[in-house]
């Protein structure tokens, strides 16, 4: 076995969260009199944290204080909405159960704020993925490698035994910055060409293909 530890991104990799993110965002935008965002627009903005999602979705004339206010409103909306339409991608649960059965160590590393990441991980994956790390003031968000280092340490593993699985440019750069290989998944929020150009070490089209690489 070449690797015994798998670090997963969350949104666009394990879970399709786009509808709940969009609904929570548009609720705020409509209340403020701003144009709502389409599915494709939200898909394009996701991956660099919720604050960036909001910043990209509102007029450039809005101040950073307003962004902070809308961020708090979004968190409240999303807390109530994040399990409405969110689902694991087809084949993900089967993959995770196989990895668990083969004694792989697994963690989630996300740029979504930490409380939401931990809540979603617990709800959908229970004890199968014991470590879930989101954005906090204490850990630099991706593409900084800090969250990967923290996850590997909490799992009691080593970087040389670790591979990263994600769906975005940010994930690929995170893996590169951590000095580990990255598997890009094509079912998420970015297309194959973007992942290839950014430098994913491998590309897979279905979750079960991961088992052939590790």
Among 9, 11, 23, 167, the one annotated catalytic: 9
- What φ, ψ does residue 133 adopt, rounded to 5°? -125, 125
Which are the contacts of 111, defined by CB distance < 8 A and separation ≥ 6?
47, 48, 49, 134, 135, 141, 142, 170
Q: What is d(CA 105, CA 99) in angstroms, rounded to the nearest whole number?
A: 8
Q: What is d(CA 7, CA 206) in angstroms, rounded to the nearest whole number?
A: 17
Q: What is d(CA 105, CA 148) in angstroms, rounded to the nearest whole number?
A: 13
- What φ, ψ does residue 165 adopt, rounded to 5°? -125, 120
Q: What is d(CA 161, CA 110) in angstroms, rounded to the nearest whole number?
A: 20
- Whether 152 and 159 have beta carbons less than 8 Å apart is answered as yes
The pair of three-digit structure tokens given for residue 52, joined into one six-digit string:
């960036």
Residue 210, CA distances (Å) to 16, 45, 152, 203 in order: 18, 26, 19, 9
Is 9 one of the annotated active-site residues of the chain? yes
- What φ, ψ does residue 111 adopt, rounded to 5°? -90, -5
Catalytic residue numbers?
9
């Amino acid at each position: 076995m070449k690797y015994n530890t798998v670090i997963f991104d969350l949104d666009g990799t394990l879970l399709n969260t786009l509808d709940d993110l969009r609904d929570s965002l548009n609720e705020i935008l409509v209340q403020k009199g701003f144009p709502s965002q389409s599915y494709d627009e939200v898909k394009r903005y996701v991956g660099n944290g919720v604050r960036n999602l909001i910043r990209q979705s509102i007029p450039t004339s809005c101040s950073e204080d307003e962004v902070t206010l809308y961020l708090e409103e979004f968190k409240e909306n999303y807390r109530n909405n994040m399990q409405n339409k969110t689902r694991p991608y087809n084949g993900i649960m089967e993959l995770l159960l196989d990895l668990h059965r083969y004694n792989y160590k697994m963690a989630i590393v996300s740029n979504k704020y930490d409380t939401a990441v931990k809540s979603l991980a617990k709800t959908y994956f229970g004890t199968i993925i014991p470590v879930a790390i989101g954005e906090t003031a204490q850990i630099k968000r991706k593409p900084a490698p800090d969250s990967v280092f923290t996850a590997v340490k909490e799992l009691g593993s080593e970087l040389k035994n670790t591979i990263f699985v994600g769906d975005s440019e940010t994930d690929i750069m995170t893996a590169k910055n951590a000095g580990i290989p990255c598997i890009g998944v094509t079912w998420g929020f970015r297309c194959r060409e973007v992942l290839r150009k950014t430098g994913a070490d491998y590309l897979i089209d279905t979750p079960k293909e991961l088992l052939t690489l590790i």
